[in-house]
Amino acid sequence: MLRVASSQGILLATMRADIIRQLIEAHAGGNDAGFRKAALQLAAAESAAGHTRIAEDLRRQVATLPSGRSRGSVVDIAQPRGDLAEILEGGHRDERLRDIVLSEGAKSELTRVIKENRSRASLERHGIQPRRKLLFHGVPGCGKTLAAAVLAGEMGLPLLTVRLASLFSRFLGATANHVRSIFSEMGQRPAVYLFDEFDSIAQARGQSNDVGELRRVATAFLQLMDTDESPSLIVAATNHPELLDRAVFRRFDAVVPFEAPREAQLTQLVQLRLKVQGIDPQVARAAARLGLGLSYADAARACDDAIRSMVLDHRERLTEDDLIRAFEAARRRGDEQSEFHGRP
Ligand SMILES: Nc1ncnc2c1ncn2[C@@H]1O[C@H](COP(=O)(O)OP(=O)(O)O)[C@@H](O)[C@H]1O
Ligand SMILES: [Mg+2]
């Protein structure tokens, strides 16, 4: 563990030295965009080291820099280029813990992981790393992808999502190489790396007939997970944890179950979504009771529908009726879908 801590320290020091050199070069060359880019990279490196406050200070300073001579050519440094540009997509996120409603268990685990990563430097002085390889599982629409964005937002790191369609290469042998490039990127570009629909990687079935190739991908992934010591966070999300075997689960530092919302969580979600419009707590609870069985995503959509009704009727205030109707409609949609899929 001590070896891990010190190799991380060296990695960060090298990264900082490299960024500072870029800062100086950009300054000397009058390259405003380059200067901004390097400064933001420094902020990301500090975030990854758990120095969230320093990172936020840096970002604030960058935001107040006069807009550069090379306007229009400002690139989001969070977005990788080259080979990986097609595979990784994303950028900086504004989501915070206050934007997500979760069961007590999931919320406290998420909060704890954020705290650990913010305290990275102190933990490393004890030869310990924050937990940074996370598996999120649960039914669709319960906030797994959102939680990855919240992690990124809270840590001040970009969220980079692995695009599965581009990852699974048409070229034999290339997919495992893509996976290797992603892991090597993790060392150079601190971020939250999200492997959504992770079961398709861990299982890697159905994408090709060449089973040997697919097994290589899964094996490469697990080996890289084992040896990864990067400053990045890895989030794997899946709706089908039953498809993963124990060897896969074992690789993660934390496994977080995302449950379907109960009445209390649905009430919170309604209040959160309708914060601007303002909603009576009693009405929020009535909507939540109607919405029992819906996912967070379905309930969020019902709230949006209620706002649509209000706006289309040229009203300034959301009524109980708007909300109840929207939730009844969401319920009906849910029932129709279960019929369609042959479920009770
Ligand atoms: N737990 C939650 N708290 C607040 N909003 C949520 C939650 N879960 C889902 N949503 C809403 O539904 C949308 C889709 O959810 P998502 O995170 O993609 O679910 P999953 O990845 O679990 O399928 C989110 O962007 C958000 O608007
Ligand atoms: Mg998702």
Atom of ligand 1 nearest to the CA of 146: 17
Tokens of 340: 């369609």
Q: What is the pLDDT of residue 342?
A: 60
Q: What is the pLDDT of residue 74?
A: 43
Q: What is the pLDDT of residue 248?
A: 87
Query: Can you tell me the distance from the alpha carbon of 283 to that of 287, in angstroms, rounded to the nearest whole number?
Result: 6
In which residue are the tokens 């070229």 written?
A: 171
Beta-bridge mates of residue 159:
91, 192
Domain boundaries, the chain: 2-64, 82-258, 263-340
Residues 6+ apart with CB under 8 A from 143: 100, 101, 102, 258, 296
Q: What is the pLDDT of residue 170?
A: 67
Tokens of 186: 């993790």
Which H/E stretch holds residue 46? helix 32-48
Q: How far is the CA of 259 from the centre of ligand 2 (A)?
A: 13
Query: Can you tell me the distance from the alpha carbon of 148 to that of 144, in angstroms, rounded to the nearest whole number?
Result: 6
Using CB distances shorter than 6 Å, the residues near ligand 1 are 100-102, 140-146, 237, 258, 269, 296-297, 300
Q: What is the pLDDT of residue 16?
A: 83
Name the closest ligand to CA 147. 1
- Which residue, 182, 168, 163, 273, is CA-closest to 213? 168
User: CATH class for domain 263-340?
Assistant: mainly alpha
Q: What is the pLDDT of residue 205?
A: 46
- The b-or-e profile of 242-264 (16+ CB within 10 A means b, else e) is eebeeebeebbebbbebebbeee
Residues 6+ apart with CB under 8 A from 229: 4, 7, 8, 11, 129
Radius of gyration from C-alpha coordinates of the chain: 22
Say whether 263-340 and 82-258 share the same fold: no
Q: Any idea what the Cα angle at residue 195 is, between residues 297 and 155, rounded to 5°?
A: 80
Distance of CA 61 to the CA centre of its chain: 25
10 Å CB burial of residue 288 (0-12, 13-18, 19+) is: buried
Atom of ligand 1 nearest to the CA of 136: 22
Q: How far is the CA of 32 from the centre of ligand 2 (A)?
A: 37
Q: Which fold has domain 82-258?
A: Rossmann fold (3.40.50)
* Site to substitute for ligand 1 among 107, 142, 268, most atoms within 8 A of C-beta: 142
Task: Establish how many alpha carbons lie within 13 A of residue 51's alpha carbon, considering only the half-sphere containing its beta carbon.
Answer: 13
In which residue are the tokens 């899929």 written?
A: 341
> Which residue's alpha carbon is nearest to atom 8 within ligand 1?
143
Asked whether 266 and 143 are in contact (CB, 8 A), the reply is: no
Q: What is the pLDDT of residue 34?
A: 85
- Which residue, 254, 274, 278, 256, is CA-closest to 266? 274
From first to last of the 344 residues of the chain, give the pLDDT tens digit. Answer: 445 556 667 777 788 888 888 888 888 888 888 888 888 888 888 888 888 888 888 888 887 777 644 443 444 555 666 678 889 999 999 999 999 999 999 999 999 999 999 999 999 999 999 999 999 999 999 999 999 999 999 999 999 999 887 887 767 678 888 899 999 999 999 999 999 989 887 775 444 555 677 777 888 889 999 999 999 999 999 999 988 888 888 999 999 999 999 999 999 999 999 999 999 999 999 999 999 999 999 999 999 999 999 999 999 999 999 999 999 999 998 888 777 666 55
Q: What is the pLDDT of residue 26?
A: 86
Beta-bridge mates of residue 137:
238, 257
Say how many residues make up the chain.
344
> Whole-prediction pTM value?
0.80
